[in-house]
Structures are given as structure tokens and as C-alpha cells.
């Protein structure tokens, strides 16, 4: 069976628009609540939160929210194909991806603030590796529409598949790095979730290939 990437969410009218608005609104609420409760999360009085504290905290928050949304978008099709459930998730995958791109752009904003505030020079490998991840995220966001899908044809799927795996790899590389230095159980959960998402995608690929050759 041919893999089909087309997003038909536009065919579902108002219910799709409602779902899209809910996803975008919840993303903004998650970011707003993160800032509102930063004093509790950092264990400081609000007035004592320095610019450096705020920037470091928001870098971690935005990375975690963006990774969560990336994984949701990654598992939408495998869940549908493996279980027959999750039609709504798959139908709203485009908006989940766009929310991820938005939150990742906020991470980029805090990266700029971090560099300015800390005066720390970035290594070339970080600029290239991280820069490419941001670039691919924005390319995916800009091509997440029916016209781009039609114009790019088979290359649309290739571009998005490559970009998703590259961005996933940079996330995993960073989370595993933090896990190795901090040994925090939270990061074991995050890394495990990342591996489960990719395993589901591989499982679906293998099943499809097996069906084709059967």
C-alpha cells in the first residue's frame, strides 16, 4: 500500500477549525501557565527570578512542550494504522505540527536571549546542528498546506520525513546529554517516550512492507 501523507483536515469544515483553535489555544495556555508558575517551579519568589533564571527555565519548558507536540504528530498515523483508533488525532496532525513549530520558535527566541544575556559564544557544531533543526522546522511549517503538498508531490513526504527524524534526533541528543549529566528520572521518561514514538513508526513501515510482499 502506498504511504499517503495528504492531510484532509480541510474537508471537515467547522469541526476541524474548532480542533485547530483548541490546539493553538492550549499551546498558548501551556506557555502562559509556565511563565505564571515559574516562581513555584524554580522555588523562588517571583521578584527574585533573574533574567538568566527565566531564560534557562523557558528554554527547558519550550523544549519539552515542543518535543511533546513533535511526538504527538509522529505517532498520529501509526496509532491510526495499528489500532484503527485516533482518527481525530490524525485529522489534526497538521495543527499539532504547526503548534510545535511555534513553540520551537519561542525556544529560538530564548536561545537568542540566552546568547545575549550570557555573552557565551556558541560552538560551530551547535550553530550548524541546532540551526539546521530550526530551519527544517520552519520549512515544514511553511509547507504544511495543501498547495505545497500538491506542488512538491512525492518530495513533500520525503522532506517532512527527513526533517521530522532530524529534529527528533537533535531533541534526543540533547535530552540524553542532560540525562547522562543529571541522572534525573524525568529524562528517562522523556527519552523512553521518544524511542516508543519512533518504534511505532518503524512498526507500521515494516507491517506495510510485509503486506506488500505477502
Q: Report whether 194 contacts 71 (CB < 8 A).
A: yes
CB nearer ligand HEM, residue 38 or residue 81: 38
The verdict on 193 binding ligand HEM (CB under 6 A) reads no
The verdict on 130 binding ligand HEM (CB under 6 A) reads yes
Closest CB to ligand HEM belongs to which residue? 130
The verdict on 208 binding ligand HEM (CB under 6 A) reads no
d(CA 67, CA 121): 25
Supply angle C-alpha 121, 122, 124, rounded to 5.
Answer: 130
Nearest to 104 by CA among 63, 72, 159: 63
Site string for ligand HEM, 96-115 (x = CB under 6 A): -----------x---x--x-
Scanning 88-96, 123-131, 151-159, 193-201 for contacts with ligand HEM by CB under 6 A, the matching segment is 123-131
CB nearer ligand HEM, residue 79 or residue 100: 100
Scanning 3-11, 91-99, 128-136, 194-202 for contacts with ligand HEM by CB under 6 A, the matching segment is 128-136
Residue with cell 484532509: 8
Give me the least distance between CB of 85 and ligand HEM, in Å please: 29
Helices 13-36 and 93-118: crossing angle, nearest 10°?
A: 30
Helices 154-182 and 185-213: crossing angle, nearest 10°?
A: 150
Binding ligand HEM by CB under 6 A: which of 65, 133, 179, 204? 133
Nearest to 99 by CA among 36, 192, 29: 29
Which positions ≥6 away from 146 have C-beta within 8 Å? 6, 7, 10
CB nearer ligand HEM, residue 12 or residue 187: 187
List of E strands, the chain: none
Three-class DSSP category at 143: coil
Residue 173 per-residue DSSP state? H
Binding ligand HEM by CB under 6 A: which of 174, 176, 207, 208? 174
The verdict on 86 binding ligand HEM (CB under 6 A) reads no
Scanning 24-32, 71-79, 122-130, 143-151 for contacts with ligand HEM by CB under 6 A, the matching segment is 122-130
Q: Binding residues for ligand HEM, per CB under 6 A?
A: 56, 59-60, 63-64, 107, 111, 114, 122, 126-127, 130-131, 133-134, 167, 170-171, 174-175, 178
Amino acid at each position: 500500500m502506498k504511504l499517503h501523507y495528504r492531510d484532509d483536515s480541510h474537508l471537515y469544515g467547522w469541526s476541524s477549525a474548532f480542533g485547530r483553535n483548541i490546539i493553538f489555544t492550549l499551546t498558548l495556555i501551556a506557555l502562559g501557565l509556565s511563565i505564571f508558575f515559574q516562581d513555584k517551579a524554580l522555588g523562588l519568589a517571583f521578584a527574585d527570578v533573574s533574567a538568566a533564571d527565566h531564560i534557562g527555565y523557558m528554554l527547558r519548558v519550550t523544549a519539552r512542550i515542543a518535543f511533546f507536540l513533535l511526538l504527538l504528530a509522529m505517532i498520529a498515523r501509526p496509532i491510526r494504522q495499528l489500532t484503527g483508533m485516533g482518527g481525530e488525532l490524525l485529522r489534526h496532525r497538521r495543527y499539532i505540527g504547526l503548534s510545535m513549530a511555534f513553540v520551537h520558535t519561542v525556544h529560538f527566541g530564548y536561545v537568542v536571549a540566552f546568547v545575549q544575556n550570557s555573552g557565551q559564544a556558541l560552538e560551530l557544531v551547535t550553530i550548524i546542528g541546532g540551526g539546521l533543526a530550526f530551519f527544517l522546522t520552519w520549512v515544514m511549517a511553511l509547507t504544511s498546506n495543501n498547495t505545497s503538498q500538491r506542488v512538491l508531490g512525492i518530495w513533500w513526504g520525503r522532506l517532512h520525513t527527513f526533517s521530522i527524524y532530524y529534529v527528533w534526533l537533535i531533541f534526543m541528543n540533547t535530552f540524553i546529554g542532560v540525562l547522562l549529566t543529571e541522572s534525573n528520572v524525568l529524562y528517562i521518561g522523556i527519552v523512553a517516550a521518544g524511542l516508543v514514538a519512533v518504534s511505532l513508526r518503524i512498526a507500521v513501515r515494516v507491517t506495510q512492507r510485509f503486506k506488500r510482499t505477502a
